[in-house]
Structure 1
Amino acid sequence: MMTSVDTDLMRVLADPLRLRIVTLLAQETLCTTHLVEETGARQTNLSNHLKVLREAGVVDTEPCGRFTYYKLRPEVMEALAGSFAELAAAARATTEGNLKRSCP
């Protein structure tokens, strides 16, 4: 059984700042101001990264007065983790079963 990992999502999360944002949002729902304080990134740069995360479906927004709060969508992370868990299980089965293709 072949397992595939969402490569587009991996590209989104591979950026160090976006990964930092996701890590922070895993702990609590934050607004842009909080994220600027926590990351030290410029507002414009941070907003661009948040847009990428929103478009990839990694975060949801929640308007609150003049602020926008961001929260991580755990189901997206769980799906990605599940894909990697399936890869690890397949690798374990291959190793334990000593499965290898013979050379021609």
Structure 2
Amino acid sequence: MPRRFTLPCDHLRALYEAGATTITLANLYHCNPATIARHLRRCGVVLRTGRFTAKPCDEALLRRMYLDERQPLTQIAAALNVSVSTVGNWRRRLGIPPRRGR
């Protein structure tokens, strides 16, 4: 039989809004992160998304750096402060063809 317990809304909300994750709170209260999320929602807390927000891509800049200036992906990634895989994903999504030879 599952155990039922109540978690203090004020304390739970304060910790979560201070940056604690549902995993951290679950460890603190010895329960499942889904239980914490459910209690937070019952307390009226809007949960943070677990995903990173997508960084927008300046298509003209990417085309210029990649096609016209022929910069390597590593250099483009460093200049735009993203990972090399992000640059590759942008390139494919925008339909920019891969470079072939010189």
Q: Name the TM tier (shorter chain).
A: 0.3 to 0.5
More strand by percentage = 1
Give the TM-score of the pair, scaled to structure 2. 0.34
Which structure has the highest helix share of the two?
1
Bigger Rg over Cα: 2
